[in-house]
Each structure stands twice: as C-alpha cells, then as structure tokens.
Amino acid sequence: MAITIQDQPTTTYISPAFAPIEYLLSSSNSTESGFKIVCKVYLNPAGANTLISTQQISVRPSTTQAILSIQDVVKSFVPITYSVPNGDTVGLITNALNQFRVTFQEYYSGALQGSVVASNTISSLAASPKYVQFASNEWQDYQLATSATFKNLLSNFSNTIPVINAFSGANNWLKVKTDQKTQIQWAQSGATANFKVWLKTLNASFTQISLSQLDLGTTSKGYFALDIGRQEASAHAWDTPIVWTAAKYYAVAIYDESTTELVSNAYLYELDDCDTNYTPYELHWLNRWGGFDSFVFDGKSNQNTEINKTFAKYSPDRISGSTLVYTTQAQRTRAFNTATSESYSLNSRLLQDFEVSGLEDLVTSPEVYWKSEAGFVSVNVSGRTYQHAKSENGLVYSLALDMVIDNSDERQW
C-alpha cells in the first residue's frame, strides 16, 4: 500500500479559509531514497479544474506520516462579496462557493512513483474564526443545513433568540436606524434545502403587527444574502406585505419547510428613530464569519485633516528689461507637493454587552465602508479605547475609534 489519507477536512461543513485546512497522510514507502509527497491543489475540480498550487512535503522524522496545510493557498481564491455598496438588491442574493481538491503522489528514486490519490472535494468561505472557536467547532454553528436548528447567520452580533415569538425587553435588541442599510448573510452547507425567510414586526409592547414570509425555493450549497433594512425589506416578494406602521421592533429568521422548524435563530432589531445632536456615521465591515455587519455611530465626532507639505526654494526672476525689480510677492520658498488625509474620531452611544462583543470585529476588520453623503467610501479604522462591558455593568461603556479615509489627495503646485 502506498499513500493513505488518514484525515482530511469534512465535507459536511464549509471550511473557513482563514483557519487550518489540513490533511494527514501516511505512506508505506517513506524510507525510500529522497522520499517526498507531491501535492497538487485544484480549484473547482468539477468545472475548470485549475491547478493553483504544487507542493512537496516530507514525512515527520521517524514516522511514516506527513501533514499538508493548504489554507494559505485557499484564502487567495475565496471571494469576499458585499452587494450593499453597489446599491439595493431585490430578492435573494446567491453566490456560489469555490471548491478545492488535492491530489497526492509519491516521489522517490528520482521519479514519481505509484498512482495518484485524490482527496474529497471541499468548499471554502472567507471566514476567520479565532483559534478557540475553530478548535471547539463553534464555527460550525454559523452554517445552515436541512434538519439543523437554531444556527447562526454570518453576524458577530448575538441579538438572537431560538424562537420567533415570546419577545420581551430583556432580549438583545440591536438598534438600527430607520434609514440604515442592513443585510443578513448566511452559509448553506447542505446540498439542497427549502428555506423561507420570516420577518415579523412588533409594536412598542411587543405585540405582533405583521408576519411576512419569503419563499427562497430550492437552494444548494452556497453563500446567500438578503437586504432587510427598514427601507429595503418591503421590496421583496413576501407572501404578505410587511406592515411598518407603528412598528418599533422586528425579528428575522430562516425557516426550514421540510422540518417546520427554525433553521436559524431569530435576529432581533429595534428601530431607533431617536434624534441626535451629532452627525451620524454609518459603518459596514467584514466580520470574522465571512458576513458583513453595520452600525451607526451617533455620538460626538471630530473631523481632522492631516496636511503634509514638501517645500523647495526658488530663485525669483528679478529682471524686468534692464532693471532689477524687487517685489513683496516674490516667493522664495514654495510648497511643491501638498498631500492631505482626512480622518474622523467617532464615538458611539452607550452600548450593551452584546453590542460591544459584536463591534470587536469592526476594530479588527480589514474591510470597512463608510456610508457617506457621496456614497460608500472605503476606510480604515483603529480603536482608541475598547473596553468590554460585562453584562452586570449595564450601559456603561461606549466605543471610540478613528476612521481614516482610504484616499491620498494632493493639492496643485
């Protein structure tokens, strides 16, 4: 017997690309002269079957086993998609996932030997769980499949309950502005499913106003999204129109028609129509689960412009005909390059514990957008203070951060 794949990523779930994706191999020929295992990674093997990486690995000392890690290859081929900056979308947004397969073959005595051994085909998503979340399999709770129940959407906010009724003020209600762009995303790991999205509106006493269902039809493994902001949600083909009149809260969940159970937790939102004396800043960011969250900072903010000038000395032309002329406006030193950079110091309102936890991903996110008056602008953020309020402390802490516009502007010279 030659190569044996002793362990490999599961096909039951979608592998997070920014976490270990590893294969444990064994060979009965590992003592041969110059022994290596040649590993080839293929993208979308059922389609173009593109070779994207070739590696050679050795067995561990005094063993017959070797480990191949491919996450550094895979992460370059998992797209990050977010439709909101490009405008509103009516209906379900569907994105196929890239798939990967690895082949293995022995090399020794100066040549390839034996037959090729192929791994399972896996799908991957641009998710980056913390190591503890990966090792404890918490990441698997962020994927939906038929017969699964009470799973999470791709959000780092825990504004959830496992039912879509029995609401109360004690629940974690995530405040959203009435004009805030809000989108839910989810990963479906099951091969096929028949899901519906439920949206329920409630008044200030948590009494139901309307219940609307959106039939998604039969869907396959993939990445899905739906706009659910107050101003966008009504455009979808709900079985019953959403009633927003007198609505203070709303809840969204995904329902499995085959099991008549919620496949996801219900996500809870409070419509925040309170006035503020400060300019609101709406930010959208890539979270660790591969989805996008949004939040409005409506505390006191400051705008700063950093100016960097480079000066050079000039020799003014003092000759006018046959006369030397000295003028007060003659400029001896002049800025020949002036670069400017805009930044903003933002502050949130007082936050609940679950909101502080969710906003951690904003401070660490590599992809952040600001919804400005001119449209969505790519920005970078950094935390100036980040304290995680414990639930027993109540509304104690706010989040302050710096936002830098991702542009380099220059003045004329």
pLDDT at 397: 66
pTM of the model: 0.90
pLDDT at 306: 83
pLDDT at 158: 97
Q: Using the 8-state DSSP alphabet, how is residue 14 labeled?
A: P
Closest C-alpha among 109, 78, 158 to residue 354: 158
- CA separation for the pair 243, 257 (Å, rounded): 24
pLDDT at 391: 53
- Within 8 A by CB and 6+ apart from 35, the residues are 27, 29, 58, 59, 106, 107, 108
Q: Which of 143-157, 174-188, 259-273, 347-361 has the lowest mean pLDDT?
A: 347-361
Q: Which of 137-146, 190-199, 302-311, 357-366 has the lowest mean pLDDT?
A: 302-311
Average pLDDT of span 232-247: 98
**Beta strands in 203-332, from DSSP E residues, in sequence order:** 208-227, 249-256, 261-262, 266-272, 281-286, 292-297, 302-313, 319-320, 323-324
pLDDT at 318: 81
For 141, phi then psi, to 5°, come to -75, 0
Average pLDDT of span 255-262: 93
- CA separation for the pair 404, 258 (Å, rounded): 48
Q: Cα angle at 228 between 283 and 86, to 5 degrees?
A: 55
Tokens describing residue 376: 């969505």
Whether residue 207 has pLDDT greater than 70:
yes
